[in-house]
Structures are given as structure tokens and as C-alpha cells.
Amino acid sequence: MTINHAREDHADSPCTKRPPRRTGASTPPHITPAQRRALLAGAKAPLGLLPKSVNLRTLASLAETDYVGLDQSRGILRGLEATRDQLDVWGGALTEDGWQRARAEGAGRFRIVVGCGKSKQDRRVTAGEMYVGTFHGSCRLAAEALLRGGGRLYILSAAHGILDLSTEIDPYDITVGDAGSVSADFVQAQVRARGIEPAEVTVLAGSKYVALARQAWPNLQAPLAGAGGIGEMKQRLSQIRLASAEAGRKR
């Protein structure tokens, strides 16, 4: 089980690729009301995908400020520049800068961290595709249910720390506490670098991963704590999904 980031800096890539950061600007660029609405709408999706209702002009202008790029969780789009033509075809997704600006504009603070599970692909893929076990699948479904009101999905990895779903990683076979696994200091540094210390975090993982994440987020929620095994954890995850669905019907 895990939360995203390879040991090398290049593996901790943002959700979407963007051009080199502009220098010399000490204040954030001005955004229009339409751009702000688009950023806030993107922040309601776990992958930061902007809704189709956002027009191309707004998408392109947000790409110029490095707030929007192409969805890097899709292999066909990885590494492509977010040109107007590409955005017209594929739509846009928030970059790391876009997520930060959305939070500054009032986006919700809710975040989810998901345990990855032991079963993995046998080749280099994105973190969102790496973990194929049934426990991880149950965690993802519960996370998606919790995120219906807005927020962002991460994976906590023993090898890489906090991972975006779009970050490419190689298979590995270690768990938290093993030689070579990430330390609490490493995860704390990732959290600070991403500016997500004040996030409202729920960790869907076993006790070792919860303890690791708690060093960065002392007040996190751990709904699987005290479970007697995978079977009971899956029952709790199912209850989370049902409760979220019921709450959605009452809204």
C-alpha cells in the first residue's frame, strides 16, 4: 500500500505537463470570472478534468498561464503540449499550478490518499494503472464516492511517497518499514512542496500507511483503523460508498 513520488525528482511530475515556469512574476496573474469558474469546476474532479462546458477560449487562456494542460493520465496525451488545437480535441486538466490557484480561489480543501495494494502491473505504467488488486479497487471506488463533492486523489506508495495518478512508475516490491521504503520526513517534504499541509485528508489504507501519512497530516481520518483484516476493510469501504450515495440522494 502507498501515497505518490519516485525517488528521483523527475518522477514526481504534476497531473499535466506544462511549459517551463515563467520567471520574474511576483504576483499571480489576473484571471477573469470565467477562468475562476473553470478552475473551481476542475478542482471538483479527482484528476482535475475541466468540464466540457468550459469553452475553448477559456481553456486556451488558462493554458497560457500554465494553469491548464492536457490530461497526462491518458497515455496518448503524455508529453504533448496543450495547444489550442489539442485542447479543442481533448479538453483540459488542471496542472499543479492550476490546483494551487484553484485552492487560492476558494476550492474545497478535501483530499483523499489511497493505499495502493500489493498486486501490481509488471511493467512501467502510471500510478493510476499500477495497482490491480481487489483491495485497491475497493479503495478507489470508496475514494471516488468521497470525492463527489470535490477534492483530489493521491496514492501513498512505500517506494515513492505521495503520487499523482498520472506519474509513471516502475513495479516494486516493498512495503512501509522495509529497507528502501520512504521515510516520514520524505513524505512531509512532499506535502510541503505541494502546499497541501492544510488539506482535509482521509487515508484508505492499513495501519503502517496511516502512521506514515499522519506525520504529515496529524488530524487525518482513517476509517479502516482497527479493522481485523482485508475482509473487514472491504466491508467498511463498501459502507463508505453506500453512505456517500445516500448523502448524495439527500442533497
pLDDT computed for residue 152 by the predictor: 85
Distance between CA 182 and CA 161 in Å, rounded?
A: 6
pLDDT computed for residue 212 by the predictor: 95
pLDDT computed for residue 116 by the predictor: 80
Residues 240, 12, 89: CA angle, nearest 5 degrees: 80
State whether residue 7 is helix, strand or coil.
coil
pLDDT computed for residue 9 by the predictor: 34
Q: φ, ψ for residue 112 (rounded to 5)?
A: -125, 140
pTM over cut 0.85: no
- 56-to-8, 45, 88, 132 alpha-carbon distances in Å: 35, 19, 6, 35
Distance between CA 164 and CA 186 in Å, rounded?
A: 16
pLDDT computed for residue 250 by the predictor: 67
Please give the single-letter amino acid code of residue 101: R
Q: What stretches in the chain show pLDDT beneath 50?
A: 1-25
Grid coordinates representing 90? 481533448
pLDDT computed for residue 169 by the predictor: 94
- What is the tens place of the pLDDT at every residue in 75-85? 788 888 999 99
